[in-house]
């Protein structure tokens, strides 16, 4: 059996939904609904039209990216393959593992992107230069 490539490990995760006429509820539990303990939560909002976010990869950090409101696209790249996913439901999360370059674009008006992260912020965990990321990704493959 072949080992999954990094991009193939990225996947959409269905989050629990509790339907109620007064409004729906979704919850997320670290280690249960996502394959890591949640150490940090951040969100992107008030994103100007045409703006892009992301543009980096992580050495160790894992993330779950959720469109809390509106929609946006996430482009994933592991150095061998790329994939674009459109997120527009608050009950789906996109799991992104280590050593995957991500770019987020095509934000709708009023969109909110929430990210659950497996580690605290550490600048040393980032690849911000795409060529440096490619060298590392191909060396670790």
DSSP state, residue 135: H
Task: Tell me the C-alpha distance between 6 and 77, whole Å.
Answer: 9
Task: Tell me the C-alpha distance between 134 and 17, whole Å.
Answer: 38
> CA–CA distance from 3 to each of 47, 51, 108, 129 (Å)?
37, 35, 36, 27
Residue positions annotated with a catalytic role = 56
């Amino acid at each position: 059996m072949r080992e999954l490539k990094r991009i193939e490990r990225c996947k959409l995760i269905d989050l629990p939904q509790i339907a109620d006429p007064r409004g729906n509820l979704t919850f997320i539990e670290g280690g249960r609904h996502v394959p890591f303990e949640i150490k940090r939560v951040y969100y992107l909002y008030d994103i100007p039209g045409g703006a892009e976010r992301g543009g980096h990869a992580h050495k160790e950090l894992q993330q779950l990216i959720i469109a809390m409101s509106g929609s946006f696209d996430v482009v994933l790249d592991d150095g061998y393959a790329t994939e674009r996913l459109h997120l527009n439901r608050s009950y789906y999360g996109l799991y992104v593992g280590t050593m995957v370059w991500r770019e987020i674009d095509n934000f709708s008006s009023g969109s909110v992107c929430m990210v659950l992260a497996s580690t605290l912020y550490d600048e040393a965990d980032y690849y911000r230069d795409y060529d440096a990321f490619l060298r590392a990704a191909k060396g670790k493959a």
